A and B are shown apart, each in its own frame.
Chain A
Amino acid sequence: MFDGWDAVGLARAQFAFTMAFHIVFPAFSIGLASYLAVLEGLWLATGREVFINLFNYWLKIFAVGFGMGVVSGVVISYQLGTNWAAYSDKAGPIVGPLMAYEVLTAFFLESGFLGVMLFGMARVGPKLHFLATLMVAVGTLFSAFWILSANSWMQTPVGYAVNSDGQFVPADWLKIIFNPSFPYRFVHMVLAAYLTTALVVGAVGAFHLSRDSRLAGPRVMFSMAMWMATLVAPIQILAGDQHGLNTLEHQPVKIMGMEGHYQSYQHGAPLYLFGLPDQAAGEVKYAIAVPKLGSLVLEHSLDAPMAGLDTVPRENWPPVPVIFWSFRIMVGLGLLMLGLGLFSLWMRWRGSLYESRLLHLFAMAMGPAGFIAVVAGWFTTEVGRQPFTVYGLLRTADSASPLAAPAVGSSLTAFVIVYFIVYAAGLTYLFRLMAQPPHHGEQGPSHAPVRAAGITPAAGVAEGQSL
């Protein structure tokens, strides 16, 4: 099997697959850890029971999601060596230390305090427990900092030299860490994580409100989530725009691909709303475009000339059809998030935040939107970096391990099978937890499993209604 296949293509497919499955969990964990810290802080500050109920409710969900993030993340850290050995040898002296700092500052912090956060309330008391929650939340942000620094350096490499073995070696660590695209990518990703979590929390809240709009827990979580959508979605759109301008400055070819600009435009480039990019022909077919709007968005001037892929050697073209569409999916979902935020603000102002059936349906439909947008965004930036691993310097084809296609194909098959089993089960358990409303006296993971509440549904419902 896989004998006639291209080993590099298989390795890329494997990385895309394992990474796409992995990225959604950190995105959720970053946002949820911060949300849990806010809930516990509010509980300590106000003493209101609804906050600790919500905390324990989301903590159980966090535990399942975090575990899945950890195991899929360990895979990534070894996959760089197994499938991308040449890259690891060449970029290891720069990317390796950044990832080592991620482990030292973030992974240990998260995993060291996770046990206390999940199971330790009765043993350490509320204040130390809150500290543990804060450490886990801070750890997720540290993690994002380092891994996005490493990723951004691959996009916009600076502060390096090349030694006689062909390795990239560090010349200036500050330049490497704070490379040109890093601040933009970091802000964009953390906001994405917060929005993703807010949309999930909002959807779960909406689901329970649509069944009983008087439930205190769902009311609080829904209101908090909708505030997040209202406030953060516009900031995210602004941050995304700035990130795009940064990309235009440092990786103009990626922007050409995202915009479908195969041709150069002397007097203002169009903005394609729809179209089917044809990589072989070098044109966008069935295009629906607004003339000159592309230049307005990217150069803030209607007539600004814009170079296209016709100025770039073909062997350096990114796969336009992929990023043209992944970019549009991400932007489209971002606009829908903005719409949800504004709609909820209107309903809030009218006093029907907890009763509007339409709003609840909208929020439920948007539950997975953050995950899809995150994956689409990552496809845009990573596929847009092709055909390089270190942008402009190290080609993907020269980065792979010296492995035959059957080895890579077999491991890809194994990962696909294992991930579908594990993720199907994990999603089932997450949905099962979310399908229950938060109860009066909600327990964290440290007591008998939630199933106990399911075994005596009558008691659960009665308690739920008393809230």
Chain B
Amino acid sequence: MSKKWVYPLSAVVLSSSLVLSACGSGDTAAEKKPEAAPAEQPATTAPAAATAAPDLKASIDQYQKWVIEQTDQLVKATEGFTNAVKAGDMEKAKELYAPARAYYEKIEPIAESLGDFDPWIDAREGDVPDNEWRGYHKLEKALWETKSLKDQEKVADQLLQDVKQLRVKVESVEIDVPMLVTGAVELLNEVSTSKVTGEEERYSHTDMYDFAANVEGANEIFKVLKSAVEAKDAALATEIENRFKALDDEIAPHRKGEGFVLYTEIKEDQVKKLSQTLDALAEPLSKMGTIVGG
């Protein structure tokens, strides 16, 4: 099976610095190995992918635009948060912490694909050696556990610098179809493994913000791929859409004002229901890869 996402050069230029070939620059030789007979043909008539390619290019563009917007918001919100930390304003910092982080959670798979941003920004205590620990969760501990912002200015400055650097990188990130397809499920797996157990925000208990943000990020990917999924398997698209709605309905009762209730306020049976509704969504979502099937 050979799938190529090679686009005319003009398209690449038009879409700013986005590189549309999934394979990067290093594997040209591998692509042209003779056993992949269809690959010998001009890219425009490559099998299966060719018909879907223009739509998916638009999808990828649309998604990247959204990622950039979210990262803009992340920088802005993080700046507000780190300013509060540096000003020693505990209450304000606590208030701004979860909403600011949420922008990161929406785009986490992209950040993870760009090197060490994830450990820099999102590592929890024990995820990395203590002397390398930095980022949001370090400030979370200072705010909720040690209850002191003493000596946290450096951490705050570093965090802001990291998200700003992330903003620069997302401009040129190479997003391809496999990344989108696996990224959507990856976001839900993030929820399954840490948010749903309340382990992500061990001091602030603001896990529900991350939960909702991860789901929103997955939904955004589905939205841009929806027409492609519909074209291949209309029932699957409907199923995914319904299950997103079902999950949103489960999340809704836990909203409070602009944000969410603390995770410790959510009852055990509600957690189980959230988890099962999430699994019910992730299963069909994991089949989105069908859009690249021959």
Q: Do the two shown chains form a genuine complex with each other?
A: no
Residues of A within 8 A of B (CB): none
Residues of B within 8 A of A (CB): none
